[in-house]
Amino acid sequence: MAQSSLAQAQTGVPGAEVLRAGQPYKGTTLNFISLNYLFSTGLKTLVPAFQEATGMRVNFELLGTLDNLQKQQLELSTGSSAFDVYQIPPFNRPAYHKSDWLAPLDSFLKDANLTPAAYAFDDFFPISTAQGVSDGKRFDLPIFSATILLYWRRDIFARAGLTKAPETFEEMLETCRILKEKVPDVAPVGLRGAAGVEANLWPFPILLYAQGGKFFRDFPKDMRPALSDPATIRAVEMWATMVRQYGFSGMVNATHEEVIVAMQQGRVAMVMDGHPLANLFLSQDKSQAYGKTNIAPVPRGPAGRFPAFAEHGIGMAKNARNKPAAWEFIKWATSQSVLLELALRTPYVASPRRSTVQDTRYQQKNNLAEGQYLPIVRQMLDERSPVYTPPIPEWGEVGDAISNAISRVTIGRQTAADAMKQAKGEVDRILKQAGYYK
């Protein structure tokens, strides 16, 4: 497995092993819309090879988180053919599937003429491919498997007399307190403080579940919101404390971008954020954290440890004009050699394929934090919380209400109890309208 992709990466046309011979789609133009992140920016650098091999042209529309979501949903919901291929944001996938916006991919996958054995579907991690199926139909393929780690600067910790990363969230608060006292010129922790499903609500559930809190009474059986539970409120308070008192300046509005910059500029002692961003956090050229950072599993709480998991996907619009051509691109973008090439040549690291992760060159390149990185990533993925982000179509709206409430607590506008109460009312209305209960 690792061998064939090795050969491909060396011959300079990554993905050639899955492309159809004879350029059957020559002259076609495809439009691809995606979040502007490591996968798509990396893919863009490889796409000239694709264009040359197939005679097709691919236009990339890369946008920021909110714009991407908005544009995608606007186009999909009106059945437009403006874009053929879509990156599927993990938290909105259930909505995309349920609303019937994507074209099923099963027929393409099963057709031996369109998809050769070299595509090696079984090479994907099962947890990744499981995401793209709804009601027995496959609507998207995985491209970006993400979990969250705790990165900590051992040199800064040492200055505060600390030698290890916090094991629990209570310890984490205490660690922050000590750091702030002993090392005042550096912020104790970096977190995504901004409101948003892909901002504060991405790491928050780790803390929530660890403290015994939850979003719903008993997902998926009893969908009434459990936002006013004492454990939930306690989790919100802990989060708000960390962001408000122990963060770098401006952290209440920080998205992953600001967290990355803070880490790179050495302004923060520890960061609880995505593993896919490791090559940015620990970049040899750009980051002060390089060579000084350890990796630890995310902290646990009284209820246990609940690591994060989310998978981005790639799919085809229901009304894409030339579906076989779009399939050609999707197939190529998720092939063994392309994902491996991306991982070897760019900071992209979150490949959903076994062959990428087992490749020795990949392991050498991503041997970050003195070899701690890869094993802990594996551990977090293996121990992931069975339900991390509730996979409901309404999560976009529900998550927004909750993340805004958390943000209001963070900036001191409301107490956790009041904010959660308000969120509970809003979520209640959304779920009732969606028919989960009366």
Partner 1 sequence: MVVRRTLPSAAITVTTLASLALVLVPLLWIVLLSLKTQVQAFDRTQVLVFQPTLDNFQRLLADGTFVHYLVNSVVVAIGTVVVSLAIGAPAAYVVSRSRWRRFRDVALAYSLFVRIVPPTVFIIPYFLGARLLGVNDTWWVLIVAYANLNIPLVMWSLWSFFNDVPRELDEAARIDGAGPWQIFLRVILPVAAPGLTATAILTFIMAWNEFLLALVLTSREARTLPVAIVGFLAYEGADWGLVSSGSILVMAPIVVFTVLIRKYLVKGLVGGAVKA
Partner 2 sequence: MVAPLVAALLLLTMVPLAFAIGVSFTDLKLNRLTRWNWAGIDQYLRLVDDARWWAAVGHSLVYIVVPTLLQMLFGLALALLLHAAIDRLRWTRSLFILPMVLPPVVVGVLWKAFLLPDFGGLDYFMSLVGLKAPAFLETAEGAMGALILTLTWEWTPFVVLLLLAGLESLPQDVFDAAHVDGASATQNLRYVTLPMLMPTILVVLLFRIIESTKVFPVIFTITGGGPGNATENMDFYAYLVGFRYFDLAYSAALLVAILLVMAVICAPLYRSLVRPQTAG
Distances (CA, A) of 14 to 52, 89, 108, 195, 352: 12, 25, 21, 39, 17
Interface characters, 164-203, with partner 2 (x: CB under 8 A): ------------------------------xx--------
> What three-state secondary structure class fits 308?
coil
With respect to partner 2, which residue has the nearer C-beta, 36 or 422?
422
243-281 as b/e: b if 16+ CB within 10 A: beebbbeebbebbbebbbbbbbebebbbbbbbbbbbbbb
Among 18, 46, 56, 95, binds partner 2 (CB under 8 A): 95
Residue 207 sits in the site that holds partner 2 (CB under 8 A)? no
DSSP secondary structure of 354-396:
HHHHH-HHHHHHT-HHHHTHHHHHHHHHHT--SSSS---TTHH
Q: Which residues within the stretch 360-399 sit at the binding site for partner 2 (CB under 8 A)?
A: 396-397
- Cβ closer to partner 2: 391 or 396? 396
Nearest distance from C-beta of residue 51 to partner 2, angstroms = 33
- Asked if residues 393 and 386 have their Cβ atoms less than 8 Å apart, the reply is no
User: Judged by CB under 8 A, which of 367, 413, 432, 437 binds partner 2?
Assistant: 413
By residue count, the chain amounts to 438
The 8-class DSSP code of residue 95 comes to H
Sequence letter at residue 108: F
Q: Which is nearer to partner 2, 95 or 226 (CB)?
A: 95
- Are 279 and 366 spatial neighbours (Cβ–Cβ below 8 Å)? yes
Q: How far is the CB of 43 from partner 1 (least distance, A)?
A: 15
**Cβ nearer to partner 1, comparing 4 with 41:** 41
Closer CB to partner 2, 107 or 265, in the complex: 265
Beta-bridge mates of residue 333: none
Q: Does 70 bind partner 2 (CB under 8 A)?
A: yes
Strand (E) or helix (H) holding 337: helix 336-345
Contact residues toward partner 1 (CB under 8 A) are 31, 36-37, 59, 61, 63-67, 71, 74-75, 78, 80, 82, 257-258, 260-261, 265, 280
User: Mapping DSSP to helix (H, G, I), strand (E, B) and coil, where does residue 259 land?
Assistant: helix
- Asked if 217 touches partner 2 (CB under 8 A), the answer is no
**Residue 75 or 341: which CB sits closer to partner 2?**
75
The 3-state DSSP class for residue 48 equals: helix
CB of 80 to partner 1, least distance (A): 7
CB of 78 to partner 1, least distance (A): 6
Nearer to partner 2, 75 or 328 (CB): 75
User: Which stretches within 88-214 are classed as H helix?
Assistant: 93-98, 106-110, 126-130, 154-159, 169-182, 204-210
Judged by CB under 8 A, the residue of 73, 168, 245, 288 near partner 2 is 73
Contact 106, 327 (CB under 8 A): no
Binding partner of residue 273 among partner 1, partner 2, none, CB cut-off 5 to 8 Å per kind: none
- Residues of this chain that interact with partner 2 (CB under 8 A) are 66, 69-70, 73-74, 76-78, 95, 99, 194-195, 249-253, 396-397, 400, 404-405, 407-408, 410-413, 422, 426, 429
